[in-house]
Chain A
Amino acid sequence: MKVAVLKGGRSLERQVSLRSGARVEDALRSLGHEVIALDVGADLVRELRERPDVAFVALHGPDGEDGTAQELLEILDIPYTGPGIAACMRCMDKVLAKHELRAAGIPTPDWVAFNQTAFRDLGAGDALGDIEDRLGFPLVIKPVGQGSSLGVRFAASAGEVPEALVAAFSYDDRVLLERHVAGRELAVSLLDGEPLPVVEAVPREEDRYDYEARYEIGRTEFTCPAPLDADEVAAVERVARETWRALGLTAFARVDMMLGDDGPQVLEVNAIPGLTDTSLLPMAAEAGGLSFEALVERVLELAAPVRA
């Protein structure tokens, strides 16, 4: 098959995407496919006129993970990997995702979301005290549409909130203030709706509140399968499956959650999770007996011509 691998682009996660793309290309070649590597830019549509049989979307962040690239691929009638447009939009927008989850009865931490206009033109700053009373400290403050840990801050007290908001607004025009849930950090990858073995991330104690440094190899331990008892696995997998349905996901996705005293709570969902050497979805697949090549082949099979 002739496969176009879409990677890079202008998102802040460009480098991760390039690494994902490079690894996918290796796998595709070793599977015997013809590969067209596309670092997406203004000439993407023109390049897609080469008519690949399928497009492998290895883009992360805005443009790639939010349904934009998928929309283009549908217009050009090129089948593509990963979830469809609507599911991508729901996942990339953390607030929309949380509304969908809550509507479906899936636990997700309490939150409040604002855009910059609310603070500038509507005096939302005056409501900060009420928000803080409702959500408590520490608060997690994150940009709504940024796919990585960039711009995510903890605020331990009211005094730290303005600075954290300024940081988060650097990445998006909308930010999310979320109640911090104590517990174990789990990532559940799903392939065609079926959960793969659960990955647990255990940050070093000193990095507990350092989001930026948090997921670097050597500063965080990743365990797969996570040491969970049968009841915990059942609860985590049930929530992951419900999330899959609620957001209308297809092909693959990764659901990030916190497992606290009250069971799992979903933090966010990645429609196009990383596929690099150190990424969690391939780690989970491997733990489930699926090599990276087999994973890529399976993802290709799941690519459907028209979805929307």
Chain B
Amino acid sequence: MAEPQERAGGRAAASPHRRPHSRARDLERYAGLFAARTRVMRSSAMRDLMAITSRPEIISLAGGLPDTSTFPAASFAAQMTRIAQESAAQALQYGPTEGFEETKDCIRAVMAAEGMQPDPEDLIVTTGGQQAIDLITKTLVDPGDPVICEGPTYPGAVPVFCAYEADVHQVATDDDGMRIDELEELLDRLAAEGRRPKFIYSVPSFQNPAGVTLSGERRRRLVEIAREREVLVVEDNPYGLLRYGGEPEEPLYKLDGGDYVIYIGTFSKILSPGIRLGWLCAPPPVMEKVVLGKQASDLCSSTLTQYFVREYFAEGNWRRYIAEVTAIYRERRDAMLEALEAHFPRQARWTRPDGGLFVWATLPDYIDTGDLLAKALRENVAFVPGSAAYTDGRGSHSMRLNFSGVTVEEIREGIRRIGEVVGEQVELYETLTHKQPPSASAARPEAAGSEEGRPDGGTVLPLRRREE
């Protein structure tokens, strides 16, 4: 019998100042008070497993971290010193809920780099892109309202949608991003029930977690659909400027002109996630409610870090820094794709991102990546099991692999180790089911093709198969 566990994250760190632990009876008393929306999808066992991935001896491809080690410390020191000397009182004070005009100028510069020219009145500075997702959902979604997103979707959006009790529908993705034909079918189905989604959430460029990019044709169609059906699209674009290959696609916001597309951006991947600054661009009626929501949440985002952004952009090197990290990430992406070719069995397939931070790999449908993580942890390597990117239990044969926060050497070794444990499972399964062992034959095993298009497998990406 397993130990029953709390559903909320337990306090793990021992501090002598911690309040003594509550007893089971107290927990039960609190349990009766929790709102239904606090129910989370992920099992506590899986949460405990993920907590182990941060141990120092583990090569973690599970993170989503940009590499902040290359940011010039001297420049950081100079900027913060200048703020302390010239604007200490203001930088330590509350600021406007919408954010400083100077911050908005920096945001407009970033958006202009992708061809967008938002009205400053349509902009609000948020505490990271994550708060932007939260504010939009808070503003638009009543319990039970349909929300559409990609399958797989950004794992960090899942708890937000769940917290507001949205009825989440996920549309399959392929190498060209969200399947617009499936989206239209879903919209028709909802319409037949007299329902309309509150919004369609998408990460169109270098998607987290799948790494795929919505094609130009699909972008134009998505924007048309939004207009035809008067449905809002939430475009989350944290990685647009982190491109390592291919041609840039136009943001949905630019194609639409800002009528039906709400835009989310962030400084996290192009500057620093530690400053917790992102933004949201929305039409005035939506913005009005979002501002009220943000007031209720945190009054304003950090004035201190907004001052830092202002100083940093005034220096004029921000695009050069993006070019620097892009070069580093490109090398790491290449290393990961090479390592996957070298070490993953031929039954596996994966995406080849032109940008962003992630590769999405899909294994045969008899391998559960949650169980696989336990095996991988014994080899001191970690990844994110794919089920975290779904709200309905799909994705259990896939995994998200991060290449931005680890060195090339770690990527090679990490992928080698994962490839080894996957290979063992494939071999075992084939032995059990009397399939030919992979080494004995060049024939393509059935398993490689059979999961394609499975309705329940979460492996609906027709990913490129490894060249043999």
Contact = CB atoms under 8 A, between A and B. Distances in A.
Nearest to A8: B12
A267 interface: yes
A10 B55 contact: yes
Contact of A215 (B3, B12, B27, B31): B3
B425 A169 contact: yes
- Most-contacted residue by chain A among B21, B22, B52 (CB, 10 A): B21
Contact of B45 (A150, A167, A217): A150
Q: Determine which residue in B52, B425, B431 has the highest number of CB atoms from chain A within 10 A of its CB, and name it.
A: B431
B5 interface: yes
A217 B3 contact: no
A21 B434 CA distance: 46
B11 interface: yes
Interface string B37-69: 001000111111101100100000000000000
Contacts of B5: 16, 215-217, 276, 278
A151 B24 contact: no
Given A150-B45, A215-B4, A278-B6, A12 B368 contact: no
Contacts of B133: none
A268 B12 CA distance: 27
B2 A214 contact: yes
A19 B5 CA distance: 10
Contacts of B428: 116, 119-120, 165-166, 169
A277 B23 contact: yes
Contacts of A83: none
B274 interface: no
A242 B69 CA distance: 60
Contact of A170 (B1, B39, B372): B372
A116 B432 CA distance: 11
B145 interface: no
Nearest to B28: A217
B366 A166 contact: yes
A213 B44 CA distance: 8
Given A216-B43, A218-B31, A278-B4, A283 B24 contact: yes
A162 B2 contact: no
A282 B47 CA distance: 23
Contacts of B22: 277
Contact of B14 (A25, A278, A280, A283): A25
Interface string B399-423: 0000000000000000000000100
A167 B368 contact: yes
Contacts of B52: 10, 12, 14-15
Contact of B375 (A10, A171, A213): A171
B466 interface: no
Contact of A277 (B21, B377, B434): B21
- Residue among A165, A216, A267 with the most chain B CB within 10 A? A216
A10 B56 CA distance: 11
A23 interface: yes
Nearest to B46: A212
A77 interface: no
B71 interface: no
A282 to B, nearest CB: 7
Contacts of A244: none
A26 interface: yes
Interface in B343-400: 366-368, 371-372, 374-375, 377
A74 to B, nearest CB: 26
B377 to A, nearest CB: 7
Tier of interface size on chain A: 35 or more
Nearest to B44: A216
A58 to B, nearest CB: 11
A292 B23 contact: yes
Contact of B4 (A10, A171, A222): A222
Interface string B87-115: 00000000000000000000000000000
Contacts of B23: 277, 286, 292
A112 interface: no
A15 B51 contact: yes
B3 A26 contact: no
B367 A166 contact: yes
A149 interface: yes
A14 B48 contact: yes
Interface string B1-35: 11111110011111000101111101110010000
Contacts of A60: 3
Contacts of B427: 120
Interface in A260-304: 267-268, 270, 273-274, 276-280, 282-283, 286, 292
Given A23-B21, A149-B45, A165-B432, A215 B1 contact: yes
A282 B24 contact: yes
Interface in B413-455: 421, 424-425, 427-429, 431-434
A230 to B, nearest CB: 24
B1 A217 contact: no
Given A12-B49, A169-B428, A217-B27, 9 more contacts: A18-B14, A19-B12, A148-B3, A150-B371, A215-B4, A218-B7, A220-B4, A270-B1, A277-B24
Closest 9 CB pairs of A and B: A149-B2, A274-B3, A15-B48, A170-B371, A256-B1, A170-B375, A162-B432, A215-B4, A167-B371
24 contacts: A12-B49, A14-B48, A14-B52, A16-B5, A19-B11, A19-B12, A22-B12, A125-B434, A150-B2, A151-B371, A162-B432, A170-B371, A170-B374, A211-B2, A213-B43, A215-B1, A217-B4, A217-B5, A256-B1, A277-B23, A279-B4, A280-B1, A280-B4, A292-B23
Interface of B: 1-7, 10-14, 18, 20-24, 26-28, 31, 39, 43-49, 51-52, 55, 366-368, 371-372, 374-375, 377, 421, 424-425, 427-429, 431-434
Interface of A: 10, 12-16, 18-19, 21-23, 25-26, 30, 37, 60, 116, 119-120, 125, 128, 148-152, 161-163, 165-167, 169-171, 185, 187, 201, 211-218, 220, 222, 254, 256, 267-268, 270, 273-274, 276-280, 282-283, 286, 292
